[in-house]
């Protein structure tokens, strides 16, 4: 019985996070973007949607923006009709927080080709999706089902040099999904900086 005494030490608060789970419907949201427009997931029914968690100061985000990898993906897939939403869930006072005006400037300076930059300083969208890191990536099919959730690629190095040799899971999911082929990898462990929610 003495064992039980110790148990309380170990029972951690396992907060049940709502999550965007591959194979299930993506959580609905309605939130403002940097350009002042309101975006709803339902606006994009019938289209492929990519959700990319973004934090301008995170080294792993810089890995993919500094190398123009992310902008390249955004350009390629928005060109094919994909809706690409960068989501900033950094709370006010935390790393990477931007107000609407600054977000527009940052996006412009970074030459972002995202459809929109969603502002989520309250973390409502981030927590609904279970975004743990930046960049945490989600791919949603035209029926609104999550078909991929996880890392952007298979190399969690912060060194941009590895990008050329990495397997990009988001591109693979979009390429396969848009051709009605089976998506090989639907869930991976995301890597990067923790998403900077309010405490």
Partner 1 sequence: MSIGWVMKFTVILSLFFAFNFPVLAAESIKAPHVEISWVAPDKWGAGSAERVGLEFKIDPDWHIYWRNSGDSGAPPKFDFSGKDVVVSQPQWPIPKRIPVGHLINIGYEKSVLFLFQVSPLVASQTVDFKLNLEWLVCKEECIPGIAELTLSRPIVNTASEWSKSNKEKIDRAAKLIPFEDSSTWDLTLVEKTEEKLVVDLKVKREDLTLTPVPDLLPLDGDYVNPQAPKVEGSDGSIRYTFSLPAGRGTPMQFKFLIVQGEFAWEHDLALAAGGGLAGSVDGPAERASLVSLLFFAFIGGIILNLMPCVLPVLSIKFLSILNTSVTDRRKEALLYLAGVLTTFFALGATFLILRSAGAAIGWGFQLQSPYIILFLILLFWLMSLNFLGVFEFGESITNIAGNANSAGSFTTGILAVFVAAPCTGPFMGTALGAASILPAAPALGIFLSLGFGLGFPFVVVSFVPSLYKLMPKPGAWMERLKQFLAFPLIGTVIWLTWVFGIQLGSDGWLLSSTLLLLLALALWLVKAKSRAVKAFAVLLALATITSGFVAIPRVLKFQSNAQAPNMSVSAPYGWVAYDRAEIDKARALGRSVFVDFTAAWCITCQVNKKAVLDTKGVLKIFQDNNVLLMRADWTNQDPKITAALAEFNRNSVPVYLFYDKGAKAQILPQILTITMIENLFNKKE
Binding-site ranges for partner 1 (CB under 8 A): 1-4, 6-7, 9-12, 14-15, 19, 21-23, 57-60, 94-95, 132-133, 149, 156-159, 186-197, 199
The minimum distance between CB 55 and partner 1, in angstroms, equals 9
CB 169 within 8 A of CB 177: no
The minimum distance between CB 194 and partner 1, in angstroms, equals 4
The minimum distance between CB 24 and partner 1, in angstroms, equals 8
Token pair for residue 9?
């030490």
Angle (CA) 153 159 163, round 5°: 40
Closest to partner 1 by CB, 95 vs 175, is 95
Closest to partner 1 by CB, 18 vs 28, is 18
CA gap 198, 139 in Å, rounded: 25
Q: Count CB neighbours of 147 within 10 A.
A: 20
CB 102 within 8 A of CB 66: no
CA gap 143, 19 in Å, rounded: 18
Closest to partner 1 by CB, 10 vs 36, is 10
The minimum distance between CB 158 and partner 1, in angstroms, equals 4
Closest to partner 1 by CB, 37 vs 143, is 143
The minimum distance between CB 58 and partner 1, in angstroms, equals 7
CA gap 170, 15 in Å, rounded: 28
């Amino acid at each position: 019985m003495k064992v039980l005494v110790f148990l309380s030490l170990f029972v951690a608060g396992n907060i049940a996070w709502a999550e965007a789970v591959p194979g299930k419907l993506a959580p609905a949201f309605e939130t403002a973007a940097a350009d002042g427009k309101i975006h709803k997931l339902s606006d994009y029914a019938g289209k492929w949607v990519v959700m990319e968690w973004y934090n301008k100061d995170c080294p792993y985000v810089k890995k993919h923006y500094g190398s123009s990898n992310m902008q390249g993906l955004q350009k390629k897939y928005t060109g094919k009709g994909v809706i690409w939403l960068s989501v900033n869930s950094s709370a006010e006072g935390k790393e990477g927080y931007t107000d609407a005006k600054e977000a527009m400037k940052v996006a412009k300076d970074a030459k972002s080709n995202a459809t929109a930059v969603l502002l989520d300083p309250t973390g409502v969208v981030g927590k609904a999706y279970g975004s743990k890191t930046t960049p945490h990536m989600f791919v949603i099919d035209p029926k609104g089902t999550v078909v991929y959730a996880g890392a952007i690629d298979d190399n969690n190095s912060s060194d941009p040099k590895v990008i050329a040799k990495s397997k990009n899971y988001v591109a693979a999911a979009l390429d396969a999904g848009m051709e009605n082929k089976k998506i090989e990898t639907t869930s991976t462990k995301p890597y990067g900086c923790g998403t900077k929610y309010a405490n």
